[in-house]
Amino acid sequence: MIKKVVLFTFLLASINLIAQKPQRFGYIDMEYILENIPEYAEAENKINEKAASWQNTIEKEQAEIDELKANLRNEKVLLTKELIEESEEEIKIREIDLKKLKSSYFGTDGDLFFLRKQLVKPIQDLVYNAVQDIAVKRKYDFILDKSTALTMLYTNKQYDISDIVIKSISRVKKVEEVKNKQNKKGKGADTTSAPVLSEEAQKKLDEKELKRAELKKKIEEKRAEQLKKREELLKANEEKKQQRIKEIEEAKNAEDNKNN
């Protein structure tokens, strides 16, 4: 009991000390800051282009699967049980592969997440570092982010340090550009600060794309073989049908001649 009283007294004393000390608050608008960093817009454009390309690949694959299903429905009465089962199995496999492809592109650990991490995270880190540096130098106790889920019913513009953060980032970038120019002086190297993938990151993405291309080629070869079998079967069925019609007509003519 005595221990609890002592602990409670200590907590009250701590709260009073904090209350007596004036607290410095500030806030930023992360969305506004990122919009004013050219590299962020360039990174977002690259990500959106890749995402659109991947989505197009998915839609094309889905269209091919839909076409297979339609063909199977239309030709089912003409196909053997073996070919029907083979076509259904192919459709099932391709639907599973499409689901995996979607996950590999847009899943929680997919290419889009990886690309965003490589291109956007360094820019976000730049913002966070600038915020921390300003907080230390200007002795802020708290800096909030207005653009997050945190509800801020009212904000006084004088506590908005977003522009200060942008200026700080610009200074850091200028210093880095000067250092890069000095290091690469006389080499004629490109010193632009546009976001680019590291060699290792680009290699990983290229390897994934190569594997997908190889898999797609195998699928297309298998499909071409199945289409050839289907066409041969349909042709054989049509020939049998025409032969049967011919035999019926010949038999009918023979019967007519006999009666005459």
**pLDDT tens digits for range 53-81:** 999 999 999 999 999 899 889 888 877 88
Distance CA 104, CA 115 (A): 12
Q: Say what the pLDDT of residue 8 is.
A: 44
Query: pLDDT class for 249, splitting at 50, 70, 90?
Result: confident
Q: Say what the pLDDT of residue 6 is.
A: 44
Q: Say what the pLDDT of residue 173 is.
A: 80
For residue 11, pLDDT beyond 50: no
More confident residue, 3 or 25: 25
pTM for this predicted structure? 0.60
Written as one letter, the residue type at 94 is R
Written as one letter, the residue type at 231 is E
For residue 28, pLDDT beyond 80: yes
Pick from 106, 92, 116: which is nearest to 55 by CA?
106
The DSSP letter of residue 145 is E
